Structure 1
């Protein structure tokens, strides 16, 4: 199927398979830190969307599908450099991801746990900001809708689900740029992820009332929920 003819929703990333190569999976989690710093656009989102919320006082962030934990750590470090008090909680239902994240050097204000958002909802948890990175395209319709419902319950001020935006140009550029990243799933799964991701029109059609699709970094888009008083 050509990338511009529709989502490759039926394809699977290798790292999601329970019997995938353990060493390649660990290397993938490790390389995510580099890839996310370069392509995901979280520095821009931190400055425009998160820092104003964090500046209002001690704040909390929930990172859903936190994988190897690099984004949670990166956000906590940026906040610390800005003198802001924040607690970041990374949750991932995959025990392999949660285990890898917990091997990281402890960072003040960052916690990781193996959990599904349904558990947090049942616990009555709440966070100032709920985020995810490159998660939406992994989800089936029921999981997608559940994520947004749970985000609405868990987020006091805003929710930001940052994801890839499907395009043939993104596919081609990523394929070339990741050639040096070996012995991991970064390249093959990244290309699959682009094929599985949404165009802007597709994501907008799925967004329930109150949610908006906003531009992100290059070849990215953000499905966002802003409480009143916390709009851009």
Structure 2
């Protein structure tokens, strides 16, 4: 079988991680390994860099509320909390995930971070729609949704995010797919391998993001980042 594949169109195949009832050691092992892969490839830094750009020039004597959608075990928010502590920012950081076990694990790992809290919520729920925040983060999250769902979600987020959105998601490309197939030979967790390949096929090309930008009349910046990521900043 070839390691390359046609990526012309986004796939609608679901991922194993889309099962919000998943729990136990498999889930936690998957979250840990995904966190390590993203850290190793520099992916988490793409989100942090986006937060820095949104906050650039803003006063540090205010408290900024940041929500992380699909937060998993909270590694992104802990990274941002560390940055805030170093740079003197006041943050209120809220992790949102539909999987209760992921939220429980994130809470366990974040006991030293008083600025962090985690909530089990569906982002399309009334409770989440009523939440106010300054910045919304979506790291490897938007590709889980169909394009028509994305339009609704982006409008909803921008109606609440006072400063804007930081989106960090995968570049859908034959090269990314092929390289991940090679990388997967060294990954023992089969769920990560299967979901990783599916994620790439559900991800975005620049023209997809540009189309959404134009259709929704967004003020945005799109930058390609290693390893096969797009940093998409949308400002209010």
- TM-score in terms of structure 1 length: 0.85
State the alpha-carbon separation in 2 of the partners of residues 201 and 85 from structure 1: 36
Question: Among 203, 210, 220, which residue is 2:218 paired with?
Answer: 210
Question: Among 26, 29, 32, which residue is 2:31 paired with?
Answer: 29
Q: In the superposition, relative to structure 1, how do residues 179 and 50 fare at CA in structure 2: closer, same or farther (>3 Å)?
A: farther
1:2 equivalent in alignment to 2:5: yes
* Secondary structure, aligned partner of 1:5: coil
* Secondary structure, aligned partner of 1:4: coil
Displacement of 1:184 in angstroms is 5.4
1:13-24 correspondence to structure 2 within 5 Å: 13-17=15-19, 22-24=24-26
* Secondary structure, aligned partner of 2:81: helix
Could you say which residue in structure 1 is the equivalent of 2:91?
A: 86
Whether the 8 Å CA contact 2:164–2:233 is kept in 1: the answer is yes
Question: Among 121, 126, 134, which residue is 1:119 paired with?
Answer: 126
* Secondary structure, aligned partner of 1:7: coil
1:96 equivalent in alignment to 2:86: no
* Secondary structure, aligned partner of 1:3: coil
Whether the 8 Å CA contact 2:23–2:102 is kept in 1: the answer is no
Q: In the superposition, relative to structure 1, how do residues 122 and 12 fare at CA in structure 2: closer, same or farther (>3 Å)?
A: closer
Displacement of 1:64 in angstroms is 1.2
Aligned residue pairs: how many? 225
Q: In the superposition, relative to structure 1, how do residues 55 and 98 fare at CA in structure 2: closer, same or farther (>3 Å)?
A: same
Displacement of 1:156 in angstroms is 0.6
Q: Which runs of 5+ in 1 are unaligned?
A: 228-232
